[in-house]
Amino acid sequence: MALRRFDNKVALITGAATGIGRATALRLAAEGATLILADRNVEGVEKVCAEAATSFGVRADAVGYDAADTASARAMVDKALALHGRLDSLINNAGIYRRDHFAKQTGDEWALVFRINLESVFHIVHQALPALAASRGNVVSTASTAGIDGIAYAAAYAASKAGIIAMTKSLATEYAPKGVRFNAICPGRVRTEIGTGLQPIDDQDPAISVRPSKLLGKMETGEPEDIAGAFAYLASDDASYVSGAVIVVDGAQTVG
């Protein structure tokens, strides 16, 4: 029998228009979740909502959201609560990747990566916590293996993802008495739009910044669907005793 772990559960997913967020949305929809899908790409999330409704018969609402804008984060959570009056899972997934020689990066670029990848999560979680405490719900945030191991030419990105990991563990401890779980997933390289158009920085680049997955061929990447199952597990009651966990999903890219 197919899993139905999200019947009568409401999940809010940011960055759900494409890639890992889209795959996670469809995975939760397949298991019965009611969805609020948020993204700056409104047309994109509207399409994913239509796909979720048509393929799985669930209710899915699209919300325009800009992770760079504090007010937008608050409005998104408020809209989700106005629609359904509850929130069971919050999946913080919207993110950007910027890379260049560290010496060429500006303070403004560093700040933008932090604002979108990390600070936005502060504002969303702040706004969502009362509802999550009421439902004894959970938060799953998208970090990265870069947040554990670092990555050449993307120090701001790696540092923002390390921040997600530290925040996840800290909040898991602080909110355990209220029954709210916090976990993070660290994908390795995944074929999504985040890397579209990126050129090698210099001759050294492929050698030092691309570590092949040991489960796949040399230059192959994982697919968004390879990551979605981990989100579904952590957001579900199957993980009711899991909090403060940081799960690497990278096809053995970073071990050995």
Task: Determine which residue in the list 53, 75, 83, 96 makes contact with ligand NAD, applying CB under 6 A.
Answer: 96
For residues 137 and 222, which CB has a smaller minimum distance to ligand NAD in the complex? 222
Site string for ligand NAD, 46-75 (x = CB under 6 A): -------------------xxxx-------
Q: One symbol per residue from 195 to 234: x for binding ligand NAD (CB under 6 A), - otherwise; what is it?
A: ----------------------------------------
CA torsion 107-111-112-118 (nearest 10°) is 150
Q: Which stretch binds ligand NAD (CB under 6 A): 1-9, 24-32, 34-42, 174-182?
A: 34-42
187 neighbors 144 (Cβ within 8 angstroms): yes
Q: Could you tell me which of 222, 172, 237 has the C-alpha nearest to residue 23? A: 222
Min dist CB 16 to ligand NAD, Å, is 6
Out of 30, 48, 95, 180, point to the residue binding ligand NAD (CB under 6 A).
Answer: 95
Which of 159, 24, 156, 17 lies closest to 90, judged by CA?
A: 24
Q: Whose Cβ is closer to ligand NAD: residue 133's or residue 208's?
A: 208
Structure tokens at 6: 């999200």
Whether 157 sits among the annotated catalytic residues: the reply is yes
Q: Which of 18, 24, 89, 138 binds ligand NAD (CB under 6 A)?
A: 18
Distance between CA atoms of residues 154 and 146, nearest Å:
9
Contact pick of 9, 11, 15, 36 for ligand NAD (by CB under 6 A): 15
Cα distance between the two ends of the chain: 37
Angle at 13 (CA atoms; ends 165, 245), nearest 5 degrees: 30
Rounded least distance, CB 53 to ligand NAD, Å: 19
Count other Cβ atoms within 10 Å, centred on residue 148.
Answer: 16
1: Cβ contacts below 8 Å, ≥ 6 apart = none
Q: Which residues, in sequence order, are CB contacts of 215 under 8 Å at separation 6+? A: 251, 252
Q: Does 17 bind ligand NAD (CB under 6 A)?
A: yes
d(CA 100, CA 148): 19
Query: Contact region for ligand NAD (CB under 6 A) — 5-13, 19-27, 208-216, 235-243?
Result: 19-27
Only one of the segments 2-10, 47-55, 121-129, 192-200 lies at the binding site for ligand NAD (rule: CB under 6 A); that segment is 192-200
- Report the distance separating Cα 207 and Cα 203, nearest Å: 8
Catalytic-role residue among 157, 175, 233, 241: 157
Map residue 148 onto helix, strand or coil.
helix
Supply the residues annotated as catalytic: 157
Q: Which residues bind ligand NAD (CB under 6 A)?
A: 15, 17-21, 39-41, 44, 65-68, 93-97, 116, 142, 144, 187, 189-190, 192-194
